Amino acid sequence: MLPSGTVQGSSVRTLIYLLFTIQLVSMGAMEMSGPFWPVYLRGLTSSDSLFSFASIAVYVGPMLGIMLTSAFWGRTGDRFGHKWMMIRALAGLSLTQLGLAFCSDLWVILLLRFLQGAFAGYIAPAQAYGVSIEVPAKRARLFAILQISTNVGSLLGAVVGGLILDFATFFWINLIASALCAICTVVAAVTLPDVPPVKKPAATTGTARARGVWQGSPLLPLLVVMGILLMARMLPQTSFPLYVTSVFEVSNSVTGLCYGLLALGFILSATRWARYFEHLTRPQTLQRMVWVVCGCIALTAVAAMVRNPLVFVLAYFIWGVLLGATTPVLMALISKSVDSSQQGHVLGIAQSTAQLASIAGISAGGLLSQVYGLQYTYLFVCLAYGVALVPIVALRYRPMYLQAGETSSGD
């Protein structure tokens, strides 16, 4: 935690809202190009097989880069300060977007997208910086606020990107995104105070410290739970538009509305769920998480069986509301499982886990829909949520995990 008296009261609130704004703008800038990469890549190659590969790689590349480097950048932030890791990430986003604006070679674009994830990775250091200024009891709310900013930025970014593409070229989307990230870099450097890294005695560093993150800690099962839940959420990602249009025979606008309502449910509920969970112990949180996952099982079962588009849309919105009680709350438990000197490292591992789970969910969802057909998409999601119950219940009833980390945050 930040040294006592450095940032207090309303100053902390101001800094949290500043982090929210920076993340909203920077993530929105990234999403301006998100939906339109296949359109742009189609004009760069006449090979259908190369286009299919590039259309996947352009999205998986950044996720793979983040997955491989988040833990390293987290450890670096623990040593030198998370503010500098935020500035590094924002500068990396700006420079890679600038390179993408001027690049028309397919393979260089894919390389730049991978490097964008490897050298940027903004979310984890922003979370670690937020943890360093926020009290432990409000960490679930902090993670909810930051994830809401990402979701809102994604929604607004896609809309703004479409408007730009209606009146200009793809070059301007990337150039404007680069400029927005550069502005965020300057704002973060000028307005955010430095938070000195928490130093630990030499005896707790190195191999012993690395073992301490895992031994007798609930970190690994919590990461497994979060990974399975994220994988379940991503299973219908590739098949969603085809499923909705083929099963319900609705317009693209209704399909977009349904997809947006999932994010809207999360945005409206996440901070409320965080307030509900923040005063509960880990066993109480896990007990209630079982009911949340059971709710997700019921809703995805409804989505699998229903043939009324209005019921499907309503189920999707409520599913989004329940999702607000998953990742932010689990991230708070993960953060509290280690002390302040290891927040960057552990949150980096969590971010890598999230990227791996997303890649696995997208890949598995696409494969399952091709092998078994679109009609079983949400039954597989329902099954994945059922699998997630196993480690939650196991963690709930393991005494060594129920007490480990409850008071180890040292804040």
- Say how far apart CA 94 and CA 101 lie, in whole Å: 11
Average pLDDT over residues 27-50: 84
Please give the pLDDT value at position 408. Answer: 39
Average pLDDT over residues 301-324: 92
Q: Range with the lowest mean pLDDT among 34-48, 208-222, 232-246, 325-339?
A: 208-222
- Say how far apart CA 264 and CA 155 lie, in whole Å: 9
53-56 contact pairs (CB < 8 A, 24+): 54/106, 54/109, 54/110
Topology agreement, domain 1-197 and domain 204-406: yes
Q: Range with the lowest mean pLDDT among 40-44, 129-133, 298-302, 401-405?
A: 401-405
CB–CB of 296/282 below 8 Å?
no
Please give the pLDDT value at position 410. Answer: 39
Please give the pLDDT value at position 201. Answer: 53
Instruction: Band the pLDDT of 257: cuts 50, 70, 90.
Output: confident
Instruction: Band the pLDDT of 48: cuts 50, 70, 90.
Output: confident
Amino acid at 144: A
Domain 1-197 belongs to what topology? Growth Hormone; Chain: A; (1.20.1250)
Average pLDDT over residues 169-177: 92
* Range with top average pLDDT, 108-122, 192-206, 395-409: 108-122
More confident residue, 174 or 159: 174
- Say how far apart CA 410 and CA 336 lie, in whole Å: 9
- The number of beta carbons lying within 10 Å of the beta carbon of residue 220 is 16
Instruction: Band the pLDDT of 251: cuts 50, 70, 90.
Output: confident
More confident residue, 8 or 255: 255
- The number of beta carbons lying within 10 Å of the beta carbon of residue 183 is 16
Residue 283 vs residues 268, 275, 333, 346: alpha-carbon distances, Å: 26, 17, 11, 21
Please give the pLDDT value at position 407. Answer: 40
Please give the pLDDT value at position 8. Answer: 55
CB–CB of 54/45 below 8 Å?
yes
- Under DSSP, the state recorded for 397 is T
pTM over cut 0.85: no
CATH of 204-406, one of 3.60.10.10, 1.20.1250.20, 3.30.450.20, 1.10.220.110: 1.20.1250.20
More confident residue, 71 or 217: 71
Amino acid at 96: T
More confident residue, 289 or 196: 289
The domain spans of the chain are 1-197, 204-406
Residue 34 has pLDDT above 90, yes or no: no
- Say how far apart CA 308 and CA 306 lie, in whole Å: 6
CB–CB of 273/144 below 8 Å?
yes
Q: Please identify which residue in the block is written with the tokens 């302040």.
A: 340
Nearest Cα to Cα of residue 307 among 235, 250, 263: 250
Q: Range with the lowest mean pLDDT among 45-49, 198-202, 378-382?
A: 198-202
Mean pLDDT, the chain, rounded, equals 84
Please give the pLDDT value at position 399. Answer: 53
Residue 397 has pLDDT above 90, yes or no: no
